[in-house]
Amino acid sequence: MRIILFLLLLLLILMLIFVSSEVLNKKSKIAIFILGALIVGFVYVYNEFESNHANSRKALLEQFWQGKTIKCGKFDVNNTTFNYENGTESFVAKREFVNLSGVILSLKECSEK
C-alpha cells in the first residue's frame, strides 16, 4: 500500500509540473499538491491503524485457537466453552454449556487475559 501511495503522490507531482502555467498558476499548483499530500497522508495513517488493529485481532484469535483463555467483557473465553464465528467476528457459547446459553461476544470487546 505504501508503494501505491508513493506512486500516486509522484504522479500528482509530475502532473503538476507538466501542466502549463496558463492552465494553473503557481498558487493553484501548490494548493493542489498540499491537498493531495494531505489525502495521501490520511490514507497512510488510516491504513497503518487498520493494519495494527487487524494484527491484534489475529493475535487474540491465535491464543483462542491454541486453547488459551482470553477476556471478553466479564467472560473468560476459550475454545472449550465457545465457538468462533468468522463472519461476525464473534464468540458464541457452545450448546452444552446451559449457563452460557445465548451469550455472543464480539472480538472487539476482547483482550489478553
**Over pLDDT 70: what percentage of the chain?**
100
* pLDDT winner (highest mean) among 8-12, 27-31, 82-86: 82-86
Of 69, 107, 63, give the one whose Cα is nearest residue 85.
Answer: 107
pLDDT at residue 92 above 90?
yes
Percentages helix, strand, coil for the chain (3-state, rounded to 5) are 55, 20, 25
| pLDDT (average), residues 87-107 | 92
Is the model's pLDDT at 15 over the cut of 90? no
**pLDDT value at residue 13:** 84
Q: Reply yes or no on whether the pLDDT at 81 is more than 80.
A: yes
* Cell numbers standing for residue 108: 472487539
Helices (H) and strands (E) in the chain, counts: 2, 6
Radius of gyration of the chain (CA): 24
